[in-house]
Amino acid sequence: MKTKVLCVDDDNSILDALTRLLKAQFDVGTASCAREGLDWLKKNPDCAVVLSDFRMPGMNGVEFLREIRQNHPESVRAILSGQIDLQLVSEAINNSDIHKFFLKPWENDYLLVQMSEALNLHHTLREKAHYERLAVTDPVTQVSNHRFFQNQLRRELQARPQGPVSLLIFDVDDFKAYNDRYGHPEGDRLLYNVAQTLERLRPREGFVSRYGGEEFTMILPGLDLD
């Protein structure tokens, strides 16, 4: 299966040229504006590289790629344009909103090499994200672990010094007796089911974590339970 890339440009001739160049190595998606590109990415979240024009109607390339960074941080983001705001693009590179910048007209062999390098970077970003997720995920319940809970609670309290931030703590009654009677595999399965039930019930902006043992927490930013 070919790796997916997205090309965004309001000039159809540019999109046609990029598709012809890249289709032998990549599964190429195209969009004529940022909004179309975002819609395409919702259906193709495994996209490896996004190549965008700078000047487009509605949202320029830097704004578009900055939004992609929030929702698709493992996608490599690049500007391909002949008309740019150098200061804006430089700031975007320094802020990691974009990874690469190419000028139009491009040289085919050079762009293919750069796309190959972008794919390698994508693999590196995916691996990094994988290990970062492992570091904050409880392996039994697949929700956030105690480390994530401590860091997230600190962030929420700092972001809202006047509140409100609510914290719920849950405990599984008689878990030790259940574990002793049915065995550790069944005990782990029970903890997993409890955690996933809390995940389904939490508000979109809430955070569920395994605090330890049979205890779970739910952070509710912006919610006053009183």
Give all domains of the chain, ordered by start, each with its CATH number. Answer: 3-133 (3.40.50.2300), 146-221 (3.30.70.270)
Strand-pair partners of 208:
218
Q: Is the pTM of this model over 0.85?
A: no
Per-residue pLDDT band at 112 (split at 50, 70, 90): very high
The predicted model gives 39-67 an average pLDDT of: 92
Catalytic residues: 214
The dihedral through the CA atoms of 39, 201, 211, 164 has a sign that is positive
HSE (side-chain half, CA atoms, 13 Å) at 202: 24
**Contact predicate 62/79, CB 8 Å:** yes
Long-range (24+ apart) CB contacts under 8 A made by 125-128 are 125/73, 125/74, 125/76, 126/74
The dihedral through the CA atoms of 67, 94, 8, 133 has a sign that is negative
pLDDT of residue 60: 87
Tell me: pLDDT of 194 over 90.
Answer: yes
Identify which of 6, 143, 129 has the alpha carbon closest to the alpha carbon of residue 74: 129
Residue type, 218: M
Structure tokens at 6: 């997205």
**Contact predicate 220/206, CB 8 Å:** yes
Structure tokens at 26: 């990549």
Per-residue pLDDT band at 87 (split at 50, 70, 90): confident
pLDDT in tens, 124-183: 999 998 999 999 999 999 999 999 999 999 999 999 888 799 999 999 999 999 999 999
pLDDT in tens, 157-168: 999 888 799 999
Residues contacting residue 28 through CB under 8 Å, at least 6 positions apart: 5, 6, 7, 18, 19, 22
Name the one residue in this structure whose structure tokens are 């992609």. 68
Q: Which DSSP category does 144 fall into?
A: B
**Contact predicate 211/149, CB 8 Å:** yes
